[in-house]
Chains A and B, each alone.
Chain A
Amino acid sequence: MDLKELYREVILDHNRTPRNFGRLEDADARAEGHNPLCGDQLSVTLRLQGDRVADLRFEGRGCAISVASASLMTEAVKGRSREEIARLYGEVHALLTDRTRAPAGDLGKLMALAGVAEFPARVKCASLCWHTLNAALERAPAPASTE
C-alpha cells in the first residue's frame, strides 16, 4: 500500500486550494450531499445553459480525498452537457472501484484519483461529490425548448 499513490501532488494541491469553491447565488439547482459515516457534508450549486452546465461551485467540509475529488470534478464538468457528464461519471466510478480496468476515455486530471481504488474505505469520500452533482442535475429544470 503506497500512500503516495493516494495522496498524489494533485490531490494535495486541490485539497489545499480547492477550485470553484463556494456557492452560486443565481443557481438553477443545488443539492446537498452527506456521508453519514464520517459526517462529511457537501453542497453543489450549478447554472445551466440549455443542456450544459455553464458554471458550478461546491462547498462543505471533508477529508482531502473528498475535497480534492469535488474540486477536480467541478473543473472537469464545467461546460459539458448532461450526457457528457453522465459518461464521465461512469468512467470515474469505474476508476474508483475497479483497479483492473483501464479508463475508456481520457480522464485528464481526474486520473489523480486512480489511487483511491486501493483504499476501499475511501471510495465513498471520492464519490460523494458526484452523487451530489447528479442529484442537483436531476432537480434542475429541463432545458427550455427553443420553440
Chain B
Amino acid sequence: MSKPAAVAQAAAPAAPAFDVARVRADFPILSRQIHGKPLVYLDSAASSQRPLPVLRAVEHYETALHANVHRGVHSLSQWATEAYEHAREIVRRFLNARSTREIVFVRGTTEAINLVANSWGRDRLSAGDEILITHLEHHANIVPWQMVCAATGARLRAAPVRPNGELDLEAFRALLHPRTRLVAVAHVSNALGTILPVQEIVRLAHARGVPVLLDGAQAIAHEAVDVQALDCDFYAFSGHKVYAPTGIGVLYGRESLLDAMPPWQGGGDMILSVGIDSSTYNELPWKFEAGTPNISGAVGLGAALEYVEALGRRAIGAHEHSLLEVATERLAALPRLRLVGTAPAKAAVISFTIDGVHPHDIGTILDSEGVAIRTGHHCAMPIMELYGLAATARASFACYNSLEDIDRLLEGLRKVRELFA
C-alpha cells in the first residue's frame, strides 16, 4: 500500500525559493551607487533594467552578425536576417501566437496602437461609430483613438473605474453599443496596478462581434500572456518593460485582421515590387515593417523573453506578488499615507500620496537615499483627475527587487516625514 500523502509530498517538493540574489547579479546596473548609496530601483513600470544575457546577445549581434536584413546574399545579411526572424519566433512562442505572421515588430506599445488606429481604424470607422476604452488608460491608448476619431467622425467612449481602481464591468457592458467597433483596454494599469478582467472583456466584446486590442505594456513582464487563451485580436507591448532594450516592441494581430488591413507606413521591406504608379505589398508581417527595422533591438527582445522563460513566469509572478503584499501592508500602516488603487487583482505597482507632501518632494528625498521611484501623472491624466490628484508617487517591482528594497523605501519615507514634519 502506498501512502498517498507521502507520495504527494515526494512528487511535489516545496517550490525552490526564488533566488533573488542570483537574479540581481544578472543586472549590472543594480550595483551602481546613487548619491553614495546602493541603488534601489523601484521604477520598472516606467522601464525595466537589462540583464547580462540581453546585453551579451546585443553585443554578439553587433560584433559578429550585423548587416541589413532581407534581400542580402552575403553571409552577414543572412545571419542578421536569421537573428531577426529567430527573435520573431521567440516572441511568437512567448505569446503563444499561431504564426509569426501575426508578430509585427514596432518601436513599442505606442507605435503598435498607432498602427492599429491608423491602419485598422481609418478604413473602417465612420461618423457615429464608437471606440470603447476605460478611464484608466495610458495616454498611448487614448490619444491615437482621439486622433482617428477626429479624422473619421467616430466617437471615443470610456468605461468608468470604481474608487478602488477596479473597472466597473457593469458600466463597461452597458457601454458596448451596437455602434461599438473596437474595444481597446489596458491588460494592467500603469498608474494603479489594477489587473483588468481582460478575459471577461474579450468575451463580452466578442459576443457582439467587436474586436479587442489589449495594451499589454504593463502585463508582459508580470502576467502570463497567451493570446490564444485570451482570445484577443490585438496585443501591444514594449520590449523595454520586459528587460529588453528601448526602441523595440511588438504588435500581435490576429492574422485574418492583419491580412485585411492596409499598410500604415510605406517604404522598403514592406513591398514585393514597386512601379512608379503602384506597388505590390509584402506578406505579413513585413507588410507592416517599412524601412530598416531595429534588428539589434529585436535580438535583445528575444534574449529578454528567453531570460524570463528561464526564470519562469510563475516564479517571477509569485515573487513580485509577495513583494507587493509586504510593501502594501507596510505602506498602508504609515501615518498620512494613502494608497491610490487598491483593486483586489493587482500587479506589482503601488501608487500612493502622503498628506501635506507633494509626490515630487517625496521623489527627490527618496532619490537622495538612492531609491528611484516615479512621481507625476504617469501619462494617465484622466484617472488622476478621477482621484482629484495631479500626481502620485509610484513604486513598482520587478524580478530583481528584494525585501531589502522595501526596507530602504520605508527608511526613505521616514526621512520624508522627518523633513516635512
Chain A residues with a Cβ under 8 A of chain B = 1, 3, 6-7, 12, 37-41, 61-65, 119, 121-122, 125
Contact = CB atoms under 8 A, between A and B. Distances in A.
Given A38-B390, A38-B391, A39-B376, A12 B360 contact: no
B361 interface: yes
Given A12-B420, A39-B384, A64 B376 contact: no
Most buried by B among A37, A63, A119, A121: A63
Contacts of B377: 38-39
A63 B361 contact: yes
Given A63-B361, A64-B358, A39 B390 contact: yes
A122 B360 contact: yes
Contacts of A64: 357-358, 361, 420
Most buried by B among A37, A39, A122: A39
B381 interface: yes
A91 B140 CA distance: 40
Contact of A37 (B358, B364, B368, B376): B376
Given A39-B390, A61-B390, A12 B419 contact: yes
B419 A38 contact: no
A62 B358 contact: yes
Contacts of B360: 38, 62-63, 65, 122, 125
A62 B361 CA distance: 10
Contacts of B364: 3, 6, 119, 121-122
Contacts of A7: 361, 365, 419
Interface in B139-168: none
Interface in B89-136: none
B396 interface: no
A129 B20 CA distance: 46
A37 B361 CA distance: 14
A40 B365 CA distance: 18
Nearest to B363: A121
Nearest to A67: B358
Interface residues of B, number: 19
B35 interface: yes
24 contacts: A1-B368, A3-B364, A3-B365, A3-B368, A7-B361, A7-B419, A38-B375, A38-B376, A38-B377, A38-B390, A38-B391, A39-B381, A39-B384, A39-B391, A40-B390, A40-B391, A63-B358, A64-B357, A64-B358, A64-B420, A65-B360, A119-B364, A122-B360, A122-B364
A113 B377 CA distance: 25
Contacts of B35: 1
Contacts of B375: 38
A62 B61 CA distance: 47
B187 to A, nearest CB: 25
Given A6-B364, A121-B364, 20 more contacts: A3-B364, A3-B365, A3-B368, A3-B419, A7-B361, A12-B420, A37-B376, A38-B360, A38-B376, A38-B377, A39-B381, A61-B390, A62-B360, A63-B360, A63-B361, A64-B357, A65-B360, A122-B360, A122-B364, A125-B360
A64 B377 CA distance: 17
Interface string B361-396: 100110010000001110001001000001100000
A15 B420 CA distance: 10
A80 to B, nearest CB: 29
Nearest to A40: B390
Contacts of A3: 364-365, 368, 415, 419
Nearest to B377: A39
A122 B359 CA distance: 12
Contacts of A40: 390-391
Interface string B18-35: 000000000000000001
Nearest to B34: A1
A65 B361 CA distance: 8
Contacts of A121: 364
Most buried by A among B364, B376, B384: B364
Interface in B332-371: 357-361, 364-365, 368
Nearest to B360: A63
A63 B420 CA distance: 12
B390 to A, nearest CB: 3
Nearest to A4: B419
A67 to B, nearest CB: 8
Contacts of B361: 7, 63-65
A31 B360 CA distance: 23
B47 to A, nearest CB: 16
Most buried by A among B360, B368, B384, B420: B360
Q: Which 5 A-B pairs have the closest CB atoms?
A: A39-B390, A63-B358, A63-B360, A1-B35, A39-B377
A61 B381 CA distance: 16
Contacts of B384: 39
Contacts of A65: 360-361
Nearest to B369: A3
A121 B35 CA distance: 15
Contacts of A62: 358, 360
Most buried by B among A3, A7, A41: A3
